[in-house]
Amino acid sequence: MKVVSMSKVKSLTKKSGAASRVKKVNSSGVGTAVADALIIGAGFAGLGSAIRLRQQGVHNVVILERGTEVGGTWRDNTYPGAACDIPSNLYSYSFAQNPDWSRSFSGSGEILAYIHGLVEQFDLLPLIRFQQNVSAIAFDENDGVWHVQTTQGETHVARSVIMASGPLSNASFPNMPGIEKYQGHKIHSAKWDHSYDFTGKKVAVIGTGASAIQIIPELVKQAESVKVFQRTAGWVLPRPDFVTPDWNKSLFRKMPAAQTAMRNALYWGHEAMALGIIWNTPLTNVVEQVAKAHLHGQVRDPWLRRQLTPHFRIGCKRVLISNDYYPALQQPNCKLITWPIATLCEKGIRCAEGIEHQFDCIVFATGFDVCKSGTPFPVTGLNGRELGEEWKRGSQAYKSASVSGYPNLFFTFGPNSGPGHNSALVYMESQIDYAVKGIRTILDDNLKVLDVRPEAQQRFNRQIQKRLAKTNWNSGCKSWYLTEDGFNATMFPGFATQFASQMKAFLSVDYRIVTA
Amino acid sequence: MASIDLEKMLAKIKNSQWALADIDWEAPGAELITEEQWPKLKAFMSDLMWIEHVGARGFAALAKVAPDDTLREIYTYFHAEEQRHANAEMALMRRWGMLEGDEIPEPNINLRLVIEWLDKYSDDMPLETLGSVIPMLEIALDGALCKFLLDTVKDPVCHQAFEKINDDESRHLGVGFTVLEMQGHGELYKLAIKAAGTLMRPTLILGILSYLPLLNKMRDNIVEMGLPEESLYKVMKKFETIGGRTAEGRRNPWYQIISRHGRVMIDRTNYFYHVPVDAMVKASSYIPKRMLPPIPTWVKELTWNPVA
């Protein structure tokens, strides 16, 4: 491990002002200060956690960020057309509402600007250590602290850790046969190559998920030809997108209560959607009919309609929202390919219909490496237990936030906290507030160990899996929500209101406590 | 039960993919097609290619009704593979100077009617109906038509292409007969009632009315081209033997219907069947083409070009 030089410590101190509060040690374990809370990741969850911690009087906080900028997934996903498919008034923090959203569904640039605004508004920059890529964390039971190592060779020590590294933060080219043979240009949707000029190029897009349906309409405008390779058609609902009128912005600025009312209306509207999306109810048929009408209204050719008609119940996979995807597919320079991909080859893609489709560039809109089993880096808990090993067959936690045997550690977007119908930020707020309560308990009661009891975790997971069995996610289709074995470690089977209610109470009776 | 492990079969299918680009379509040997052979071969290849293409659409319909993801994915591959066979057969036709530019062989009126039916109604057919018909068509294709072609054509490129096609077809047959047997599970009277209900569906009756004349026309076409009738008897026998090798296969009412129909279809002396069906063939030839709806866009996916 690289030993941190004193000059570097000084320069970081100067830059961030946080080093005095954080213990940074060399390999011999010599150090000076311990953070009350260490947050891994400076995306939405990490920054939100820092804001709420400070609002609750926890100031000795440090954020480790592997990049050079804040923003997480919204910093990384800059592909053309990138936008959120939840209305901006709901895809933002309730404690930091933005009256100036330019559209009902804002693009990635504006969302990233909002995140930067959070940093500025809440003066978070001094807390953040950029270019600190966490490589391992381990709990020291004697001292009741976490040791957090980074690939840069530093070790940080903190009494509690919030994992805010994000579920959609890692992306890589998929393991497709022949991918190493392809000689043309390759772009991953999550790591967009802005220097590549698509003008006059023959382009393939592999994937038809949430990113792909935003990229395709933009590429069709520029490229000579675009072939879209679809494995499974998704359900697509219309997107009620519009430019926010100036009077609306002005109203929200002058009367924040009006914006809160709008947010509440959007919240309850999305809550109602849960009845159709999460469970198979009569409303599911209604939502499917809306999607079918959308398809019918936009696609005239019956065969193309057939190719675009999903064969699973709506909600089983992520529901897509778009007005311009279907029209883009029908442009003269665009073609949907539904033949299975046999292999990639030197000049393009060979499909099972025996034809080699040749391209200048292949765009992989194949999603993220979602951590449904294992952990993004080694997490060592009590008595040397490894979380990655325990989660090998699917992750599980107590209320998505705590894992038995890993004290003083809190997850955002932990197991079974994913929404299928409502804003991720609504869920995130509940998780953050839960973590803050836990950390406040550790500090107020001067605890060395706050560890969820295994029986409480088991009880919780039995309940969750029982409830999940009745949802559309577990109705038989393959999706990134499920592990290879079909275990759902991702989604929360209920309304956002139920999730918030679950996270509201911090039941210390469910935790084993060791005082310092 | 002689069924196969469908998961293993899917893995095998994925590992056995080939492309038109694997074959050198310009290699020597095209000159081995004789002038006398050429017109009959053109008509034969055209029929063969359309049977493959129609079969492809049948697999697409089966993918819609497949009971699980594995079988759905297998049928999705088979749909594409039948398309690949049609594409490869068109590449051979082009090699032999039977196609100009982007031309595709003209489907006859009976094919048009079947294409129309497949386009409109095949997705609503139950698994046991299409899943039992397709093995019969596959076995006829594999055991009679392809064999006949390879016996009469000396072009090595044709043999190279059909070696690959036959490998695919053997997997299609393996899955086909497994599914045929799967559909024989359950109480016989329930299976029979369900089959009788399906047979009474107007959409299936329409399908039968377009399918029977097509079979008769194709049968006569290929016999006229020199295919020995004996080989048709053999393939029908093979269908009966393989399909009926297990109790489940024999209990599938569609196996019983199709195998009996196969016997009747190849027996030209059965006037009770052939007179009305031949009349239907004749009647269909009077249908003006302008009355038919436009060819569905899935037909336009056909191409002889290995590279797109």
DSSP for A412-451, please give it: SS-TT-B-SSS-HHHHHHHHHHHHHHHHHHHHHTTEEEEE
For A374, left (φ over 0), alpha (ψ -120 to 50), or beta?
left
Q: Do B307 and A356 touch (CB under 8 A)?
A: yes
> Any idea which fold A179-364 has?
FAD/NAD(P)-binding domain (3.50.50)
Q: Tell me which residue has tokens 């109810």.
A: A281
CA-wise closest residue to A19 among A10, A28, A29, A30? A10
CATH of B6-15+33-288, one of 1.20.1260, 1.10.260, 2.40.128, 1.10.620: 1.20.1260
Cβ atoms of A373 and A391 closer than 8 Å: yes
Least confident segment among A157-161, A177-181, A247-251, B1-5: B1-5
User: Which CATH superfamily includes the segment(s) A6-70+124-170+372-515?
Assistant: FAD/NAD(P)-binding domain (3.50.50.60)
Q: Looking at residues A362-367, what average pLDDT do you find?
A: 92
Cβ atoms of B207 and B199 closer than 8 Å: no
Q: Which of helix, strand or coil describes residue A63?
A: strand
Alpha-carbon distances of B177 from A231, A347, B182, B208, rounded to whole Å:
27, 38, 8, 22
| Range list of H helices, B188-246 | 188-199, 202-224, 229-243
Name the DSSP class of A128: E
Best residue in B23, B68, B69 for a mutation probing chain A (most A CBs within 10 Å):
B69
Domains A6-70+124-170+372-515 and A179-364 share a fold: yes
CA-wise closest residue to A118 among A70, A157, A57? A70
Q: Looking at residues A214-236, what average pLDDT do you find?
A: 97
Q: Do B72 and A311 touch (CB under 8 A)?
A: yes
Q: From CA A26, how far away is CA A35, in angstroms rounded? A: 16
The whole-number pLDDT of residue A462 equals 94
Q: Do B21 and A478 touch (CB under 8 A)?
A: no
Q: Nearest-CA distance from B307 to chain A in Å?
A: 5
Q: Do A356 and B301 touch (CB under 8 A)?
A: no
pLDDT tens digits along A394-445: 889 999 999 999 999 999 999 999 888 999 999 999 999 999 999 999 999 9
Q: Nearest-CA distance from A295 to chain B in Å?
A: 17
pLDDT tens digits along B95-127: 999 998 888 888 888 888 999 899 999 999 989
Q: From CA B219, how far away is CA B145, in angstroms rounded? A: 10
Can you give the C-alpha Rg of chain B in angstroms?
19
* Residue B132 pLDDT greater than 90, yes or no: no
* Residue A306 pLDDT greater than 60, yes or no: yes
Alpha-carbon distances of A28 from A1, A22, A89, A101, A154, rounded to whole Å:
10, 17, 49, 50, 12
Give residue B265's pLDDT band: very low, low, confident or very high (50, 70, 90).
confident
Closest residue in B to A350 (Cα) is B19
Q: What are the domain boundaries of chain B?
A: 6-15+33-288
Q: Looking at residues B150-163, what average pLDDT do you find?
A: 94
Q: What are the domain boundaries of chain A?
A: 6-70+124-170+372-515, 179-364
More confident residue, A123 or A25: A123
Alpha-carbon distances of A390 from A13, A144, A380, A395, A511, rounded to whole Å:
37, 22, 11, 8, 19
Pairing relationship of beta strands A356-358 and A348-351 according to DSSP bridges = antiparallel
CA-wise closest residue to A136 among A152, A150, A156? A150
Q: Nearest-CA distance from B103 to chain A in Å?
A: 17
The whole-number pLDDT of residue B202 equals 87
The whole-number pLDDT of residue B289 equals 81
* Residue A373 pLDDT greater than 80, yes or no: no
Beta carbons within 8 Å of B218's beta carbon, 6+ residues apart: B47, B51
Q: Looking at residues B11-17, what average pLDDT do you find?
A: 96
Q: From CA A308, how far away is CA A213, in angstroms rounded? A: 12
Q: From CA A406, how far away is CA A368, in angstroms rounded? A: 26
Q: Looking at residues B222-238, what average pLDDT do you find?
A: 83
Residue B243: CB atoms within 10 A of its CB come to 25
Q: Looking at residues A132-153, what average pLDDT do you find?
A: 95
Give residue A477's pLDDT band: very low, low, confident or very high (50, 70, 90).
confident
The identity of residue B168, as a single letter, is: D
Q: HSE of A451 in the Cβ direction (CA atoms, 13 Å)? A: 19
Q: What angle do CA A264, A269, A274 make, to 5 degrees?
A: 125
The whole-number pLDDT of residue A79 equals 94
Alpha-carbon distances of B276 from B68, B205, B283, rounded to whole Å:
40, 15, 10
The CA-to-CA distance between both ends of chain A, in Å, stands at 30
Q: Nearest-CA distance from A291 to chain B in Å?
A: 19
Q: Looking at residues B28-41, what average pLDDT do you find?
A: 92
Q: Looking at residues A357-376, what average pLDDT do you find?
A: 83
Best residue in A330, A338, A355, A485 for a mutation probing chain B (most B CBs within 10 Å):
A355
Q: Is the ipTM of this complex over 0.85?
A: yes
Q: From CA A314, how far away is CA A96, in angstroms rounded? A: 33
CA-wise closest residue to A131 among A52, A206, A58, A67? A67
For A203, left (φ over 0), alpha (ψ -120 to 50), or beta?
beta
Sign, Cα dihedral of A333, A336, A339, A340: positive
Q: From CA A153, how far away is CA A2, in angstroms rounded? A: 4
Task: Give burial (CB, 10 Å; 0-12/13-18/19+) of A504.
Answer: exposed
Q: Do B19 and A302 touch (CB under 8 A)?
A: no
